Structure 1
Amino acid sequence: MADITLQVAGRSYTVSARDEDMPHLRALEARIGHHADAAMRAAGGQSGERTLLYLALILADALDEAEKKPAAARSDTLLERIADRLEAVAEALEESGETS
């Protein structure tokens, strides 16, 4: 385990992580940083805790939207692919039954 220092909304936080997790943590840090300015504006210069609260709300909202939209699209696509495969299997079974 090694320590990594992450910058979140203008503050530094040191956490322990495995070496192989470091690139992922840096990517998460960048994703959080993308929303940090909006959270700091929403907090109106108040406490860092309030900024982190707004940041958590922004990220939770983004996660909620992502879980809703892609899941439905993936489900429809997955169902279509399953239906296509079942049709292909049925056709193959019909053809093999005709040749037997």
Structure 2
Amino acid sequence: MAQVTLKVGGRRYELACRDGEEPHLELLGTMVDAKAHQAARALGNANEPRQLLLAALLLADELSELRAGAPDPERDSTARALQTLAQRIEALAERLENGGVAS
């Protein structure tokens, strides 16, 4: 059994996990900590349980949107960029096939 120390909302938590799962658990802890800080900014100086509740609700909201298929702006912009690039490559290939010079 491995041990991981997570820092969430300014507090340290010692957790046990299976060997090899430490990096994943640390990543999850970082995500929860980010939401805890977001919750703290939104709530002001609320107590820790309330702050962690809001952090959990923020994460649950994100998960709910992902499960419902809500658009991901970052993924959508990447898809648009790839589509534009593909169109440019096709246009260049067509120009080369027709004996034109690519610029």
Q: TM-score normalized by structure 1?
A: 0.63
Residue identity opposite 1:53 in structure 2: L
Q: Aligned pairs, how many? A: 70
Map 1:1-100 → 2, pairs under 5 A: 1-69=1-69
Structure showing greater Rg: 1
CA deviation vs aligned residue, 1:52-84 (integer Å, no higher than 9, x gap): 0110110010110011116xxxxxxxxxxxxxx
Q: CA RMSD in A?
A: 1.4
Q: TM-score normalized by structure 2?
A: 0.61
* Greater share of residues in helix: 1
Unaligned runs of 5+ in 1: 71-100
TM-aligned CA deviation for residue 32 of structure 1: 1.8
Residue identity opposite 2:25 in structure 1: L
Structure 1 moving runs of 4+ over 4 Å: none
- Contact 1:5–1:14 (8 Å) recurs in 2: yes
TM-aligned CA deviation for residue 10 of structure 1: 1.1
d(CA) in 1 for partners of 2:44 and 2:19? 37
- Contact 1:42–1:54 (8 Å) recurs in 2: no
Question: SS at 2:67's partner residue?
Answer: helix
